[in-house]
């Protein structure tokens, strides 16, 4: 299992790549902004990153058969992408009914509930991205080296060093491609993914 990384470790790697003893306060803030942009880029590269997938979570469904993106009572992570919706806890020994749905700005509209009076369903989803801070300790290991080299590439561009920036960009791209390849191998054997492609084209906010 991948071990989350600290933002301070990412920052120190960028500093080491830059070969400097320290950055100015302004540069530190720039690096954080650049890092978050690149971490979001990695997050957006796949629907199946393990740190962001929530499997079979009980969510409230409204009377008009909509599961909203956000739920406050009880509090849940905000949904970025709906993947699968079941009547009962999925992926256990016994089967459970899976619902078809479509997504709009209000959430996921469950299509085949029938006359059920259930006030909840079980949702598998990708949770939303949240910017990291200087004290974050939960940066996905899968993103770490891509984000560090890509952030350094952006920093080099800010300094006008476009040739060196391109070299770092290529290294970053290679790191991300390797992680995506590993993820694809895992996902091909993952039952969570079985119907996922059916729903991707219908999702929009």
Domain count, the chain: 2
Report percent pLDDT > 70 for the chain.
Answer: 88
2 domain residue, yes or no? no
205 domain residue, yes or no? no
22 domain residue, yes or no? yes
Q: Do residues 15 and 84 share a domain?
A: no
pLDDT score for 189: 64
Residue 204 has pLDDT above 60, yes or no: no
For residue 115, the 8-state DSSP code is: T
Burial of 72 (0-12, 13-18, 19+ CB in 10 A): exposed
H/E element, 110: strand 107-110
Q: What is the pLDDT of residues 61-89, one digit of tens each?
A: 988 899 999 999 999 999 999 999 999 99
Report percent pLDDT > 90 for the chain.
Answer: 77
Q: Do residues 116 and 43 share a domain?
A: no
pLDDT score for 115: 61
Q: What is the C-alpha separation between 110 and 67, in angstroms, rounded?
A: 8
Q: Give the three-class secondary structure for 57.
A: strand
pLDDT score for 192: 63
Q: Do residues 110 and 195 share a domain?
A: yes
98 domain residue, yes or no? yes
pLDDT score for 184: 87
Please tell me the pTM assigned to this model.
0.88
For residue 129, the 8-state DSSP code is: P
Q: Do residues 111 and 59 share a domain?
A: yes
Q: Do residues 59 and 120 share a domain?
A: yes
Picking from 77, 80, 76, 114, the residue whose alpha carbon sits closest to that of residue 97 is 114
Q: Do residues 37 and 88 share a domain?
A: no
As a dihedral over the C-alpha atoms of residue 90, residue 65, residue 46, residue 6, rounded to 10 degrees, the angle is: -80
Return the higher-pLDDT residue of 26 and 202.
26
Q: Do residues 109 and 60 share a domain?
A: yes
Average pLDDT score over the chain = 90
59 domain residue, yes or no? yes
145 domain residue, yes or no? yes
Picking from 137, 165, 139, the residue whose alpha carbon sits closest to that of residue 152 is 165
Q: Do residues 116 and 69 share a domain?
A: yes
pLDDT grade for 118, boundaries at 50, 70 and 90:
confident
Q: What is the pLDDT of residues 14-66, one digit of tens each?
A: 999 999 999 999 999 999 999 999 999 999 999 999 999 999 999 999 888 99
Alpha-carbon Rg of the chain, whole angstroms? 20
Q: Do residues 14 and 85 share a domain?
A: no
pLDDT score for 12: 98
The stretch 135-163 carries a mean pLDDT of 97
Q: Do residues 40 and 73 share a domain?
A: no
pLDDT score for 24: 96
Domain residues for the domain of 113 are 50-128+190-200
Q: Do residues 149 and 180 share a domain?
A: yes
84 domain residue, yes or no? yes
Q: Do residues 37 and 100 share a domain?
A: no
Residue 201 has pLDDT above 50, yes or no: no
1 domain residue, yes or no? no
Other CB atoms within 10 Å distance of the CB of residue 108 = 28
């Amino acid at each position: 299992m991948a071990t989350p990384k600290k933002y301070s470790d990412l920052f120190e790697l960028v500093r080491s790549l830059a070969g400097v003893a320290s950055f100015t306060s302004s540069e530190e803030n720039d690096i954080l902004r650049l890092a978050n942009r690149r971490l979001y880029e990695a997050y957006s590269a796949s629907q199946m990153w393990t740190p962001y997938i929530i499997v079979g979570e009980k969510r409230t469904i409204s009377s008009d058969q909509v599961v909203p993106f956000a739920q406050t009572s009880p509090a849940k992570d905000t949904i970025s992408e709906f993947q699968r919706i079941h009547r009962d806890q999925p992926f256990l020994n016994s089967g459970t009914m899976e619902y078809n749905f479509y997504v709009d700005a209000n959430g996921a509209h469950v299509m085949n509930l029938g006359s059920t009076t259930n006030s909840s369903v079980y949702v598998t989803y990708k949770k939303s991205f949240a910017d990291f801070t200087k004290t974050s300790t939960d940066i996905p290991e899968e993103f770490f080296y891509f984000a560090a080299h890509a952030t350094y590439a952006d920093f080099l561009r800010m300094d006008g060093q476009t040739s060196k920036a391109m070299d770092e960009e290529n290294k970053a791209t290679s790191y991300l491609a390797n992680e995506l390849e590993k993820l694809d191998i895992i996902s091909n054997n993952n039952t969570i993914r079985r119907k996922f492609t059916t729903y991707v084209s219908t999702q929009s906010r």
